[in-house]
């Protein structure tokens, strides 16, 4: 019995030492918009893969964010808390509300490296971070628009589904989308340019809510039965509400197949590629969130060590249609 107790005590001491070592690690913090989103979970998986491959590092990747993507204030508070923690060695932030996060960084006045990933700060506040890691969001929106225009070269009516009205990445995609359709740069809305018009009530801002996005599409179609299609700047209706999305688009399947109706959308996660194979979306232009999470710790370490880091660091795009759905995702 005494021997068993001694072994148990030794094991407990070893566990305590192990936990103490883990707690002593400097944290490379990733703060995302919300933990309720499969896109950000892919970033987490990349972060955890980095941890598994760098178990002996003095650093660890630490992933966090508010429970809900719509909780802008919650994200800002987490950023403030992480910047105040002595164990935080660097931080990578996906800002839900870019101006709010910028103000949070200003208030904290951190001495550690700050970078953004997935979504950036506005151009006016870009000096607050060292680099941006993620998608070329303007190019992504432009490619979504090019797929749309390919199906409807003569123009028509369109509605964009967007997320948070203060999310810089989504606004950049929407601008790229409009620029691709109109052939002009910087238009705040389409009113006949290039043959394209955005219908009343659009864009629709859904705060990254998939069900709300599908319902918005239903409502816009009911109010505009001659609508030519939707440009979806984030894949929330498809990967967060796949069955409601299918229920909405199945009656449109023949029109989607012929190109008479177009839905081009962002992202290639969850069931989105399966939906493309079913012919219920015209094209997907996807990001690489796993790669963002996997690369972010190494970029943060480079920043800590004072190494030169490119700004921005783009992670590329995957483009999927019904015809290439089996091979479109980069492995």
pLDDT of residue 258: 97
* Cβ atoms of residues 232 and 5 within 8 Å: no
CA distance 182 to 39: 30
pLDDT tens per residue, range 168-195: 999 999 999 999 999 999 999 999 999 9
Dihedral sign, Cα of residue 167, residue 146, residue 199, residue 277: negative
* Cβ atoms of residues 102 and 125 within 8 Å: yes
What average pLDDT does this structure show over 302-327? 97
Kindly list the strands in the beta sheet with 132-134, ordered across the sheet, starting from the edge strand earlier in the chain.
Answer: 59-64, 26-31, 88-93, 114-117, 132-134, 313-314
Q: What is the CA radius of gyration of the chain?
A: 22
pLDDT of residue 331: 53
pLDDT tens per residue, range 6-47: 444 444 444 444 444 445 899 999 999 999 999 999 999 999
CA distance 315 to 292: 7
Structure token pair of residue 87: 């164990």
Residue 92 pLDDT greater than 60, yes or no: yes
Closest by Cα among 61, 60, 110 to 81 = 110
What average pLDDT does this structure show over 89-98? 97
10 Å Cβ neighbour count for 53? 11
CA 200 to each of CA 180, 186, 268: distance values in angstroms, whole numbers, following the listed order: 20, 20, 29
Half-sphere exposure of 160 (CA within 13 A, CB side): 30
Residue 50 pLDDT greater than 70, yes or no: yes
Dihedral sign, Cα of residue 43, residue 103, residue 208, residue 264: negative
Residue 162 pLDDT greater than 80, yes or no: yes
Peptide bond into 312 cis (omega under 30): yes
Average per-residue pLDDT for the chain: 93
pLDDT tens per residue, range 204-245: 999 999 999 999 999 999 999 999 999 999 999 999 999 999
Instruction: Select the more confidently predicted residue: 255 or 18.
Output: 255
What average pLDDT does this structure show over 149-166? 96
State the first-to-last Cα distance of the chain, in angstroms, to the nearest integer. Answer: 54
* Cβ atoms of residues 195 and 217 within 8 Å: no
* Cβ atoms of residues 172 and 122 within 8 Å: no
Residue 115 pLDDT greater than 90, yes or no: yes
pTM, entire model: 0.88
What average pLDDT does this structure show over 310-316? 97
pLDDT > 70 fraction of the chain, expressed in percent and rounded? 93
Residue 104 pLDDT greater than 60, yes or no: yes
Structure token pair of residue 50: 């980095």
């Amino acid at each position: 019995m005494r021997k068993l107790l001694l072994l148990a005590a030794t094991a407990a001491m070893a566990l305590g030492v192990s936990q103490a070592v883990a707690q002593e690690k400097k944290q490379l913090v990733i703060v995302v918009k919300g933990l309720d989103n499969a896109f950000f979970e892919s970033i987490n998986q990349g972060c955890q893969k980095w941890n598994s491959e760098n178990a002996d590092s003095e650093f660890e990747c630490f992933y966090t964010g508010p429970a809900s993507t719509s909780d802008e204030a919650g994200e800002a508070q987490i950023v403030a808390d992480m910047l105040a923690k002595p164990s935080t060695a660097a931080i990578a932030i996906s800002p839900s509300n870019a101006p709010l996060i910028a103000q949070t960084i200003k208030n904290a006045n951190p001495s550690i490296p700050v970078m953004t990933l997935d979504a950036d700060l506005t151009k006016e506040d870009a000096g607050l971070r060292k680099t941006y890691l993620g998608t070329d969001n303007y190019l992504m929106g432009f490619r979504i628009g090019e797929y749309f225009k390919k199906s409807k070269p003569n123009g028509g009516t369109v509605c964009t589904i967007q997320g948070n009205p203060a999310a810089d990445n989504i606004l950049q995609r929407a601008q790229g989308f409009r620029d691709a359709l109109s052939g002009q740069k910087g238009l705040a809305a389409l009113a006949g340019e290039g043959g394209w018009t955005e219908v009343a009530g659009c864009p629709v801002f859904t705060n990254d809510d998939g069900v709300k996005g599908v319902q918005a599409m239903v409502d816009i179609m009911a109010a505009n039965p001659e609508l030519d299609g939707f440009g979806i700047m984030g894949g929330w209706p498809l990967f967060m509400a796949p069955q409601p999305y299918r229920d909405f688009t199945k009656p449109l399947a023949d029109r989607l197949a012929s190109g008479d109706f177009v839905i081009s959308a962002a992202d290639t996660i969850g069931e989105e590629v399966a939906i493309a194979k079913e012919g219920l979306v015209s094209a997907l232009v996807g990001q690489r969130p796993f790669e963002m999470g996997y690369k972010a710790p190494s970029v943060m370490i480079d920043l800590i060590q004072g190494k030169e880091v490119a700004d921005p660091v783009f992670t590329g795009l995957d483009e999927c249609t019904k015809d290439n759905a089996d091979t479109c995702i980069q492995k």
